[in-house]
Amino acid sequence: MPHNPLPRSARRVRVPAALAVTSVLLLGAGAPGRLPPTGDAVAVGAEPVGRMPLGPADVPTHTRPADVLAPGVTYRKFWQGEASDSWAVWVRHPQSGEETFGTRAHADALAASVNAAGFTARVDTFTVPASVDTDSRIVGYGVRVGRFAADRREDAVQAKQALAAAGFTSSRILFTAEDGGASRGPWQVRVITVAPSARVTLKAVHGKDIQGSETVRQLAQASGALVAVNGSEFDISGPDNTGSGGFEGVPQGLYMQNNTLLSAPNNGRTALLLEGLKGRAAVDEISSETRITAPDGATRVIDGINRATGQVLGCGGVGNDYRRSGEDRVRTLQPWRNTNCVDPDEIVVFRPEWGAATPTPVRRDGTWTDPATGWQAQWYANQRDFADHAVDVVMDGNWVVKELREAGGPIPPGGRVLQGIGAGADWLRAHSEVGKAFKPGSTVRGRDGRSVTTPTLSAVAGGTPALVRGGEVWMNPAANGMSQTSCVPAALGPGEKCRANNTLSQRHARTLAGVTAAGELLLVTIDGRDPALSVGATLPEAAEVMKWLGAEDAVGMGSGGDTTLVAKDTLYNRPVDDWGGPLRERPMSNAVVIVEKP
């Protein structure tokens, strides 16, 4: 679903006064990325060699001299190509709203009903390329009507209106470049390069609170940023996101400031690390564990940080998490991007950064029993699980328990609240004692199993797989929960549990981050959804662009309508929500910012 927070280096967070990040592992070498070179020289990023690897070889690349935004921070723009694709109407199933079908038979049936209504429908096939952990394969089928030239969008609008009048009311207009086939573009690519010796600080920032959202420009202004781009993917409330947890802006996965874990990772997903052990910037697969010790010595793993209890956006959590798979519910601790896994027996810690008050869990209704294990869960038809006897344990900044109350209430200034549902609520009631303190601790590890933490660390979850590793295109979508995500029964054929998705093959606007061999940070945007200016990039195309720019390691941030670049309080790119839509600066969960040092 392509649509879809400020460290102070001198400050050291103490335990138990804060939920700080500590490590029980030895620190060592062998980490991804490279340490930046030392020295006082401020280098400007080298120009890439040859044409930008987008479109056929006869499409030339245009550029202009780099702009120096600050010593060691440059801006470059590249553009090429012209429109060669067409407008069409993507017909969605009139009952389920599904637009990509797991079986050809389902797509053919919809196409037949469209043809019977007097239109000429076709079935397009979507194929994804191979990666390091997935094979090339057909991932679905879509029903389309019309092929209208790039300057004839109004014809597609009229076709959509006619389809709606015939009962196909949820269709949408697209430009076929979205499908990821051969295209001549056009493309606009913008590149911010930060030299390792530039006198700036790299941060991840959010707005007023974590449960809300603000535009990248607002986040840049509040943090005094020279440059800002959108950060992690996040929960988006709206009619097209029926899995929303109801808190617009909650990050999907990892988010850290000042070495403090503000949102736990979807374990094993690729992330961008800033001002950490591995240099100014690094890309790695991150997992974490947060554990509390009760006053009586009992210990328990915390399920989440600053998120709705019982809902694990993107999965990859701990405990008794499960997701919907066809008509079944399957336990999993693996990441599943843009999917809400659920857990009826959780403890989540809320910090003041979350907002003024803890949420009130929704009551459970009905039961479901795992036939293999006999494990019984409470569930809603929308696959969310919540406790019917939730509890809040309210604590001060030293984790000393002040009271136990019904879930949902104020978070004390500087304090913490442990919220439990199901067995988590039972554990808190059994082991909490007013006037006595819990002891918290977290570990955050890279793919080598070693701690990645430093007092200045910021981190944001990637919105894509890894894109480049060791200077070569390298993508791991399965490890990032992007190989199978569609599990809605209406979209499945007989016997299907889930189908693969077309995340790798679709073109969308992209925000990308990479690190060069010299330790430079690259922040890159590729605009999309605009046939006249830029059609976006598939993930393999984005990976090739990052390799061309000199990245040794790279990952994507949020994409589609998220993609935003602000420099010196000016919007540099053109974010849009839909093909041919108006410019719109979307409110975000967080941003990656570059702040000049005094």
- Provide the percentage of residues in the chain whose pLDDT is more than 90: 72
- Provide the percentage of residues in the chain whose pLDDT is more than 70: 82
Name the more confident of 370 and 289: 289
Q: What does the pLDDT read at residue 321?
A: 86
Residue range 171-195: mean pLDDT, rounded: 97
Does residue 445 lie in a domain region?
Answer: no
Q: What does the pLDDT read at residue 362?
A: 65
- Pairwise CA distance, residues 231 & 213, whole Å: 12
Name the more confident of 54 and 100: 54
Which band of pLDDT confidence, cut at 50, 70 and 90, is reported for residue 103?
confident
Task: Lay out the sheet containing 322-325: strands in order across.
Answer: 311-315, 335-342, 322-325, 328-331
Evaluate whether 404 touches 420 at the Cβ level (below 8 Å): no
Q: Which amino acid is at 231?
A: G
Does residue 588 lie in a domain region?
Answer: no
Q: What does the pLDDT read at residue 333?
A: 87
Which band of pLDDT confidence, cut at 50, 70 and 90, is reported for residue 239?
very low
- Give the CA angle between residues 454, 456, 457 to the nearest 5°: 70
Evaluate whether 402 touches 396 at the Cβ level (below 8 Å): yes
pLDDT of 571 strictly over 80 = yes
Name the more confident of 324 and 221: 221
pLDDT of 98 strictly over 60 = yes
User: In 10 A of CB 301, how many CB atoms?
Assistant: 11
Evaluate whether 141 touches 124 at the Cβ level (below 8 Å): yes
Kindly tell me the burial class for residue 167, based on how many C-beta atoms sit within 10 Å of its own C-beta (0-12, 13-18, 19 or more): exposed
φ, ψ for residue 522, nearest 5 deg:
-110, 125
- Pairwise CA distance, residues 329 & 569, whole Å: 47
φ, ψ for residue 27, nearest 5 deg:
-80, 150
Kindly tell me the burial class for residue 472, based on how many C-beta atoms sit within 10 Å of its own C-beta (0-12, 13-18, 19 or more): exposed
Does residue 161 lie in a domain region?
Answer: yes
pLDDT of 12 strictly over 60 = no
User: In this structure, are strands 347-350 and 304-305 parallel, antiparallel, or unpaired?
Assistant: parallel
pLDDT of 30 strictly over 60 = no
User: In 10 A of CB 77, how many CB atoms?
Assistant: 16
Number of domains observed in the structure of the chain: 1
pLDDT of 151 strictly over 50 = yes
Does residue 444 lie in a domain region?
Answer: no
Lowest-pLDDT range of 96-105, 260-269, 403-412, 455-464: 96-105
- How far is C-alpha 378 from the chain's CA centre? 28
Evaluate whether 513 touches 554 at the Cβ level (below 8 Å): yes
Lowest-pLDDT range of 115-119, 407-411, 473-477, 488-492: 488-492
pLDDT of 313 strictly over 80 = yes
Query: Which residue matches tokens 């791991």?
Result: 476
Does residue 469 lie in a domain region?
Answer: no
- Pairwise CA distance, residues 512 & 217, whole Å: 18
176: left (phi over 0), alpha (psi -120 to 50) or beta: alpha
Q: Identify the CATH number of the domain in which residue 149 sits.
A: 3.30.70.1070
Distance set, CA 379 to CA 252, 336, 341, 523 (Å): 22, 19, 12, 42
Domain hosting residue 167, numbered range:
85-182
φ, ψ for residue 532, nearest 5 deg:
-85, -20
Classify residue 294 by its DSSP letter.
-
- Pairwise CA distance, residues 433 & 449, whole Å: 35
User: In 10 A of CB 502, how many CB atoms?
Assistant: 20
Residue 366, CB-side half-sphere exposure with 13 Å CA sphere: 8
The structure's pTM equals 0.87
Does residue 196 lie in a domain region?
Answer: no
Distance set, CA 328 to CA 114, 243, 368, 492, 494 (Å): 31, 17, 9, 13, 14
Lowest-pLDDT range of 41-45, 255-259, 260-264, 315-319: 41-45
Helix, strand, coil percent content, the chain, rounded in steps of 5: 10, 35, 55
Does residue 106 lie in a domain region?
Answer: yes
Distance set, CA 176 to CA 48, 130, 168, 173, 582 (Å): 29, 22, 20, 9, 19
Residue range 133-151: mean pLDDT, rounded: 94
User: In this structure, are strands 137-148 and 121-128 parallel, antiparallel, or unpaired?
Assistant: antiparallel
Kindly tell me the burial class for residue 35, based on how many C-beta atoms sit within 10 Å of its own C-beta (0-12, 13-18, 19 or more): middle
Which band of pLDDT confidence, cut at 50, 70 and 90, is reported for residue 591?
very high
- Pairwise CA distance, residues 63 & 78, whole Å: 5
Sign of the C-alpha dihedral computed for residues 307, 228, 289 and 402 taken in this order: negative
Does residue 160 lie in a domain region?
Answer: yes
Query: Which residue matches tokens 């889930």?
Result: 498
Q: Encode pLDDT of 129-141 as tens digits.
A: 999 999 998 888 9
